[in-house]
A and B are shown apart, each in its own frame.
Chain A
């Protein structure tokens, strides 16, 4: 069962190739962002410039919150009420298209560039 066929290598190789290619394309297309957009439940709720240091509590429902910190042009979540704390552990973001998501609180923060929509930076 451990013996490998050529097809196995082709399949796994192409999966990795696609991943690396997509990774490079995304990296190359990313630019330094200008705004942090806060989304809650699929809607944009707030927008903050990246070049001003800021610490703000994002709370859209009672006793659920994420504390957004903007420092040195990078945004991160410092603290959150959610149980898994995945958003807190995520690296800080500063380039267009990067996101930090908090699934339990339905909150997303994302970086956009100068363009108003900031959505189609890849395509």
Chain B
């Protein structure tokens, strides 16, 4: 891929992931449990990971994190998302590179680990072990959102197959 093309494509993907983050932050799911989100911003990350590679996915993910925290979040949300995003992206890159797992499974593992990371930060920051009680529900909802994101990622990749 030519350098100019690559820069342009990365910019588009970062913009896309930002918009998806914004939609994520707008949609509040009525479960009465903190931290449950759709996680559709991950579609852009998975797309980058599959289409371009691990390095590019890290670029998109970290810029998305910084920009979305500045635009729609607070310092606190940054700390929470940071750990979740690092863990989830690291696992997705490893799974993508070293296993033949389906994209769906990779997406599910990413979503679950993202929630796990956030809970860990919350336990440390608030010094309250009991926050771990939310884990089972967050793993469950993470699996469901991971399935949705997985399907959308596969479809997106399928319909943009011919675009180099």
Contact = CB atoms under 8 A, between A and B. Distances in A.
Interface of A: 1-5, 7-8, 11-12, 15-16, 18-20, 22-23, 26, 39, 42, 83, 86-87, 89-91, 97-99, 101, 103-104, 106, 108, 110, 119
Contact of A26 (B32, B136, B143): B136
**Chain B contact residues: over half helix, strand or loop, or mixed?**
helix
B27 interface: no
A31 B138 CA distance: 22
Contacts of A2: 102-104, 154
B27 to A, nearest CB: 13
A21 B101 CA distance: 24
Contacts, number: 101
Nearest to A91: B32
Top-3 shortest CB links A-B: A23-B136, A42-B127, A19-B139
Interface residues of B, number: 36
**Chain A contact residues: over half helix, strand or loop, or mixed?**
mixed
Contacts of B139: 15-16, 18-19, 22
Contacts of B129: 119
